[in-house]
């Protein structure tokens, strides 16, 4: 599982970041045998808007972008937030 981690553009954590971290911790407790990662979701809304210019991008498009970014980094062997 991959959970988007809302980090501010300057790298600071916010209340939303902490809420996502708490949600991730709950998921890890509920699914102890499952790999659960967090992924920096900065700029995903802007990318979703570019991908779907004719309508307001929905959460599914943002989730697709987050998952694709995670998979791309994993394939390249980059360090992934966990």
- pLDDT for residue 78: 65
Q: Please tell me the number of Cα atoms within 13 Å of 17 on its side-chain side.
A: 13
- Asked whether the predicted pLDDT for residue 82 surpasses 70, the reply is no
Do residues 29 and 62 touch, judged by C-beta distance below 8 A?
A: no
Of the candidates 12, 15, 79, 70, the one whose C-alpha atom is nearest the C-alpha of residue 41 is 70
Q: pLDDT for 7-44, tens place per residue?
A: 999 999 999 999 999 999 999 999 999 999 999 998 88
In angstroms, the CA 14 to CA 67 distance is 22
**Backbone φ and ψ of 15, nearest 5°:** -60, -35
| Beta strand spans in 1-82 (E) | 2-5, 37-40
């Amino acid at each position: 599982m991959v959970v988007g981690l809302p980090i501010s553009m300057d790298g600071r954590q916010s209340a939303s970041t902490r809420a996502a971290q708490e949600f991730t911790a709950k998921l890890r407790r509920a699914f102890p045998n499952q790999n659960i990662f967090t992924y920096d979701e900065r700029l995903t809304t802007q990318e979703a808007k570019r991908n779907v210019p004719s309508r307001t991008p929905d959460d599914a498009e943002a989730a697709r972008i987050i998952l694709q970014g995670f998979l791309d980094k994993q394939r390249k062997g980059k360090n992934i937030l966990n």
